[in-house]
Amino acid sequence: MFAANKAALLGLVLGVLIALLTIFGPLIYPTDPFEMVGAPMSPPGEDLLLGTDYLGRDILAGIVHGARTTVLVGFSATSFTVVIGIIIGVLAGFYGGWVENLLMRVTEFFQVLPGLLLAMVLVALFSPSLPTIIFAIGVVSWPPVARLTRAEFLKIKQREFVLAERAIGAGNWSIMWKIILPNSLPPLIVAATLGVGVAILFEAALSFLGLGDPNTYSWGYMIGASRDFIWETWWAVTFPGVAIFLTVLSISLIGDGLNDAFNPKLRLL
């Protein structure tokens, strides 16, 4: 069960804290993260709690306001990934034959391309902005979801209850979406949860490489902007780095917990 996994509980607590920060943070700490509020490169605790970067921008404001972007990208990119992945996986797994053949070859095509590189090309092509980043992350991360969905479909579509549905006259459409899909959701939910963490790391990597949305504050942007000054202002890269680490950790732990909770074999123990 979920609660039985102590680490998962910890993850959940962390996740709730980050959610609270995302929702209420900017209201409690409204300083504009782009504004130069202090002397450049002032260390933590001197002027401001977490110090300032090379331009004199408040690191704490960056953490608080950057959370929104980071979480937004994580969830939107994952939703996008899951939608593409499920549609392709469902069609391939259900129909089989040439449909499956075609869709799986396309999936493999995307799978063999290095994800970060393709995302970089896409972002550079459409100029860096939040929607293009979400799009790029979605485009490069759907293949595993598609393959997982297809595998679940192949497994479930032979079961007796599906055959029973067909026997009483249910159409393809209804069998696909109302019968098989709900029954193959548990592994997909786990995959999607972990996908959020991956998407957040992706955004951070793109921003670090200077391909983030320059007009939106995110943790990845903070690290990328200050990486040249890592010896002078360790705090400007460390704090956003820790924030990313904690967020991804919390998501991974929750994902693990869900995996345990959905696993019928563990349930018996």
Partner 1 sequence: MRTAFKTWSVCLLLLAAVMLVIGPVAVNAETPKRGGDLVAGYGQFPRHFNHAIQSGAATATPGTQIFASLVEINQKWQPVPYLAKSWEVSADKLTYTFHLVKNATFHDGTPVTSEDVAFSFEIVKKNHSFGPSMLGPVDRVETPDKYTVVFKLSKPHPALFLVLSPPLLPILPKHIYNEEENGPIRKNPANIKPVGSGPFKLVEFKPGDYFVLERYDKFFRPGRPYLDRMIGRKIKDPSANFIALKKGDFHMALFNSGLRLKQVEALKKMKHLVVTSRGYEGIAAIYFLEFNLRKDKFKDVRVRQAIAHAIDKNFITQKLHYGYSKPATGPIHSSFPWYTDNVTLYDYNLKKANQLLDDAGYPRKANGIRFSATIDWYPGEPDSMDTIAQYLKPQLKKVGIDVQLRPPADFLSWYKRIAGWQHDMTMSNIYSWGDPMIGVHRLYLCNNQKHVVWTNTSGYCNPELDAVMAKAAVETDGAKRKALYVEMQQLLTADVPLIWTHEAPYQSIYNKDLRNVITSIWGSMTPFDKVYWKDGHAPK
Closest separation between CB of residue 36 and partner 1, Å?
6
- Give the nearer residue to partner 1 in terms of CB position, either 9 or 124: 124
The token duo for 113 is 């391309």
b/e per residue, 220-258, with b = 16+ CB within 10 A?
bbbbbbbeebeeebebbbbbbbebbeebbbbbbbbbbbb
What CA–CA distance (Å, rounded) separates 173 from 156? 15
Quote the least distance from Cβ 32 to partner 1, whole Å. Answer: 7
**Of 33 and 115, CB closest to partner 1:** 33
- Using the minimum distance from each CB to partner 1, give the nearer residue, 15 or 212: 212
Give min distance, CB of 11 to partner 1, in A.
Answer: 35
Q: Is 163 exposed, middle or buried (0-12, 13-18, 19+ CB in 10 A)?
A: exposed
CA distance linking residue 246 with residue 7, whole number of Å: 13
Min. distance of Cβ 210 from partner 1 in angstroms?
6
**Structure tokens that stand for 266 in this block:** 């563990």
Residues that bind partner 1 (CB under 8 A): 32, 34-36, 39-40, 54-57, 124, 127-128, 210, 214-215, 225, 228-229, 232
CA atoms of 74 and 226, how far apart (whole Å): 22
Structure tokens at 8: 């998962």
CA distance 133 to 77: 8
Q: In angstroms, what is the minimal distance from the CB of 214 to partner 1?
A: 4
SS3 label, residue 58: strand
Closer Cβ to partner 1, 66 or 257, answer by number:
66
Residue with Cβ nearer partner 1 (71 or 211): 211
CA distance 141 to 118: 10
Q: Which residue has the tokens 């404001």?
A: 61
Judged by beta carbon, residue 135 or residue 142, the one nearer partner 1 is 135
- The distance of closest approach from Cβ of residue 40 to partner 1 in the complex, given in angstroms and rounded to an integer, is 5
Minimal distance, residue 53 CB to partner 1, in Å:
10
Contact assessment for residue 175 and residue 90, using Cβ atoms and an 8 Å cutoff: no
**Which residue lies nearer to partner 1 by CB, 35 or 108?**
35
